[in-house]
Amino acid sequence: MKIIKETNQDKVPTSINKIILLIVIAFVFSVATRMVWVYEFKGVEQFKFNNELMINTNDGYYYAEGARDRIAGTHQENDLSPIDSSASILAAGVAKITPFSIETILLYLPAIFGSLLVIPLILIGHSINRIEVGFIAALVGSIAHSYYNRTMVGYYDTDLLNIVFPTILMWSLAWALKTKEDKYILLMAVDIIAYRWWYAQSYSLEFAFFGLILIYAIYEYVKKEDYKFTMILLTFMMFSISGLDILYRILIIILMFTLLHYKKEIFQKYMIYFFLASVITFFASGIFDLIWGRLESYVFDGASNLNKGELNLHFYTVVQTIREAGSISFVTFGERISGSVFAFLLSFGGYIWLCKKHPIMLLGLPLVGLGFLALSSGLRFTIYAVPVMALGIAFLISELSRKVSKQRIMQTIVASVLTVLVLLPNINHAMEYKVPPVFTKDEVIVLDQLRSIANREDYVVSWWDYGYPIRYYADVKTLIDGGKHTGEVNFPTSFALTNPQDVAAKMLRLDVEYTEKKFALEKAIKDAKDSGKARNKTQDEIDLKRTNIASMTIDNGFKDTNDFLTALSSDIKMLPKTRDIYIHMPSNMMGIYPTIKLFSGINLMDGSMNANPFFFTTSTFSENNEFIELGDGLRLSKSDGILKVGENSVKIKRFVKTEYDIEGKLKVSTQDMAFDGSLSVIYMTNYKQFLVVDEATFSSTYFKLFVLEDYDKKFFEPTILTPLVKVYKLKI
Ligand code: MN
């Protein structure tokens, strides 16, 4: 069997005009489907800011911050702004060459770049002389469930090119092997280098492609076929994948290609040396360790070492709260790749058939493999399988239509009907997938005001979900964000939000100053390294590894962090104040209060979890003369203030009612009930929300500051108070 073969039936040359036309049609289809979201929401004023719809992914604000600072040409030291990230460079670059606002660019770029997937898919079809297969695959793949989700309008993330690059790689390798023309080697190398620049973790997929080509070279060798071209291909691949600096890799590829192009005989003569050099470069540049480490992390679940520094503190791990990381069901898996399980099974069968007829399509295996990792490692991987499975179903449709009739027109009708059937669940999904923007206009207005109040060096403390948007809109620093939210960094913020104001204020001041202290240490180490000054390396290592909370404990002379936490309410050593701190509390933080509490609800010394707080909230309740029915078995008696929790009766300590008056000022009325009661009932009139909480939650900083506006003047002062978001400034 020859791997690269053509059947007679397939020898229908396609004109370049036809290819371009099909690409344009598929591209327009892909973008148009994504525009449904825009038409759905364009009339919603609350979803707009600066006259543009706002993006719908938290991470998008990360790249937005980098792009904003790139355009401004400056940013603050240690503000974590990713000005050198590829996605920020792309957005800022497009802003420079087009008249559009950064908001418009961030909104539409995912739809436009994500839709570029149709190009390699159509060209892959062309490479096996089955343009219609490529075209159908382009229609299906470009809007397939999970691919749509991650490249929809407003989803500004590296995903917008993460599938396009490896699909181009698959196409260039197919063409290279088929034509044995040098130019496709160059295309392949450029694609790999660009892919790595765009997405630093792309090496595992690139390496999988390399492995596949290597197997093919061995196959050729064993079959005594000419394997020289494949060896050249492997050499270029290895250099492109290696961990050398991008400039060196570009230089090496240019030099080697020039030699290959003009002095092929020399290149072939010394082929084996080039190959060996590429292997040595590959291993010496350290990229293999990264690949190996990644494989290991897939195989073993990478349980993190809880022991940080010499205090051996135990932190709550964020993985425990993120659903995405878990495994998914086969139904979800199939739906996300092909729109339905049925379509997925057909796609899979179609792909096997495709490979049997056109073995070169085995080049899709690395993408399929990575996509199938979703079954064990979470749904974010499914998108990798999308383009290849789309080729599978497209091939099946094309073959079936050929079986049904010999007439061209009949074939087209059958293929069209089947394609529409496969597309429908995916189009349906796109219509129904109405993710709102991350923030509403009213929430953003608060951050926009805060930008003119707070200094760029000031900290705005909030839960990590709000980190990136806060930094983008208010241009300040944050303690935690979408990329910095391990148990150890979340602890102080969690502690501050869920504990009384005095200890919260001290904890926030300490955490900010210790965070800055660590930045200063990192800088000192770097400066010493640059200038060749000697430092105590062992001490530096210990200091770098030490968490802020451990530093606080040790610097105050404690050996037990719990003792330090207890001492917080009395007299402890503070670091000098270097900047202002604001605490940002949106109303929807209420819904995640129990989750926030988890991160400080752990005994840092032994890792045991404290009892969960009593925390109940509802906006669906009913009332009669005697009772208020809160649902979930909770019923409040109006006459004696007894709360029935299932079969138990609990005494209510107080009943609190909050309400905005005509001037928009919050009025709080408290009715004391049983002195020895343990729970408080709060009715937030304007939110139409009942809360039933224990005493610890009632006296937490979030409840006092957000729900009751009962701030301790020694520690906090109000900065911006709106029903949706409240911002206070720390006074210590
Ligand atoms: Mn900044």
- 202 CA distance to ligand 1 middle (Å): 29
Q: Determine the pLDDT at residue 261.
A: 92
Q: Residue 65 Cα, ligand 1 centroid: separation in angstroms? A: 8
Measure 472 CA to ligand 1 centroid, in angstroms: 8
448 CA to centre of ligand 1 in angstroms: 14
Q: What is the pLDDT of residue 627?
A: 87
Give 458 Cα–ligand 1 centroid separation in angstroms. Answer: 10
Determine the distance separating the centroid of ligand 1 and the alpha carbon of 526, expressed in angstroms: 21
* Ligand 1 centroid, distance to 476 Cα (angstroms): 6
What is the CA(356)–ligand 1 centre distance, in A?
A: 55
Q: Which residue has the higher pLDDT, 254 or 318?
A: 254
| Listed residue (60, 58, 114) closest to 87, CA to CA | 60
> How remote is the CA of residue 464 from the centroid of ligand 1, in Å?
17
How many whole angstroms from 471 Cα to the centroid of ligand 1?
7
pLDDT of amino acid 303:
40
Q: What separation in Å is there between the alpha carbon of 580 and the centre of ligand 1? A: 15
- Distance from Cα 465 to the centre of ligand 1, integer Å: 18
Q: How far is the CA of 571 from the centre of ligand 1 (A)?
A: 34
Query: Looking at per-residue confidence, does 13 or 633 come out higher?
Result: 633
For residue 326, the model assigns a pLDDT of 59
- Give the residue, 307 or 190, on which the prediction is more confident: 190
Beta-carbon count within 10 A of 120 CB: 27
What's the gap in Å between 719 CA and the centre of ligand 1? Answer: 20
Would the pLDDT of 378 be above 60? yes
Cα(640) to centroid of ligand 1, in Å?
Answer: 54
Q: How far is the CA of 512 from the centre of ligand 1 (A)?
A: 16
* Amino acid 567: pLDDT: 94
| pLDDT over threshold 80, residue 438 | yes
Cα 80 from Cα 275, distance rounded (Å):
41
CA 455 to ligand 1 center in whole angstroms: 9
Mean pLDDT throughout 226-236? 94
Cα(351) to ligand 1 centroid in Å equals 49
Distance 67 CA to ligand 1 centre (A): 11
- Rounded CA-CA distance 393/389 in Å is 6
User: Beta 634-637 vs 642-645: how paired, if at all?
Assistant: antiparallel
The residues that bridge with 649 in the sheet, in sequence order, are 644
The tokens describing 594, both together, are: 């129990």
Q: Is the pLDDT assigned to residue 602 strictly greater than 80?
A: yes
Burial (0-12, 13-18, 19+ Cβ within 10 Å), 37 = buried
Query: How far is ligand 1, taken at its centre, from the CA of residue 423, in Å?
Result: 44
Q: How far is the CA of 724 from the centre of ligand 1 (A)?
A: 25
What is the Å distance from ligand 1's center to 87 Cα?
17
- Alpha helices by DSSP H, listed for 199-321, are 203-222, 228-241, 246-262, 264-269, 271-284, 287-299
- C-alpha of residue 62 to centroid of ligand 1, in Å: 11
Ligand 1 centroid to Cα of residue 98, in Å, is 24
Angle at 253 between CA 249 and CA 259, to 5 degrees: 150
Q: Parallel, antiparallel, or unpaired: how do β-strands 48-49 and 627-631 relate?
A: unpaired
Q: Mind spelling out the 3-state secondary structure of 124-172? A: HHHHCCCHHHHHHHHHHHHHCHHHHHHHCCCCCCCHHHHCHHHHHHHHH
- Residue 74 CA to ligand 1 centre (angstroms): 8
Measured in Å, residue 475 CA sits from the centre of ligand 1 at: 5
| pLDDT, tens digit (0-9, with 9 covering 90-100), for 698-727 | 999 999 999 999 999 999 999 999 999 999
Strand pairing partners for 628? 623, 636
Which secondary structure element, helix H or strand E, spans residue 680, and what is its range?
strand 679-684
Are the C-beta atoms of residues 14 and 131 closer than 8 Å to each other? yes
Q: Please give the distance, rounded to the nearest whole angstrom, from the Cα atom of residue 479 to the centre of ligand 1.
A: 13
Q: Which residues contact 533 (CB under 8 A, 6 or more apart)?
A: 527
Residue 7's identity, in one-letter code, is T
CA of 81 to the centre of ligand 1 (A): 6
Segment 548-556 shows an average pLDDT of 94
Structure tokens at 438: 């991350």
| Rounded distance from Cα 92 to ligand 1 centre (Å) | 16
Tokens of 142: 């470009």
What pLDDT is attached to residue 647?
Answer: 83
CA of 456 to the centre of ligand 1 (A): 6
User: How far is C-alpha 107 from the chain's CA centre?
Assistant: 16
Residue 220's CB is within 10 A of a number of other CB atoms, namely: 17
Q: Which of 540, 496, 413, 561 is nearest to 703 (CA)?
A: 496
Assign 132 a pLDDT band (cuts: 50, 70, 90). very high
pLDDT given at position 364: 97
CA of 507 to the centre of ligand 1 (A): 23
pLDDT digits (tens, 9 = 90+) for 280-335: 999 999 888 888 887 776 555 444 444 444 678 888 876 555 544 556 789 999 99
Nearest partner of 374 among 385, 364, 363, 359, judged by Cα = 385
State in Å: Cα 726 to ligand 1 middle.
22
CA of 191 to the centre of ligand 1 (A): 33
DSSP labels for 382-411? Answer: GGGGHHHHHHHHHHHHHHHHHHH-SSHHHH
CA–centroid distance, 501 to ligand 1, in Å, is: 28
Return the closest-CA partner of residue 199 out of 51, 383, 444, 395: 383
Q: What is the pLDDT of residue 714?
A: 96
Give residue 616's region: left, alpha or beta (phi > 0; psi -120 to 50). Answer: beta
Task: Please give the single-letter amino acid code of residue 648.
Answer: N
What are the pLDDT digits (tens) for 142-181?
Answer: 999 999 999 999 999 999 999 999 999 999 999 999 999 9
Centroid of ligand 1 to alpha carbon of 296 (angstroms): 36
Ligand 1 centroid – CA 154 distance (Å):
23
Report the separation in Å between the CA atom of 73 and the middle of ligand 1, taken as the mean of its atom positions: 11
- Nearest in space to 26 (alpha carbons), one of 408, 428, 394: 394
Q: Contact at 8 Å (CB) between 97 and 139?
A: no
Distance 75 CA to ligand 1 centre (A): 5
Calculate how far, in angstroms, residue 438's C-alpha sits from the geometric centre of ligand 1: 20
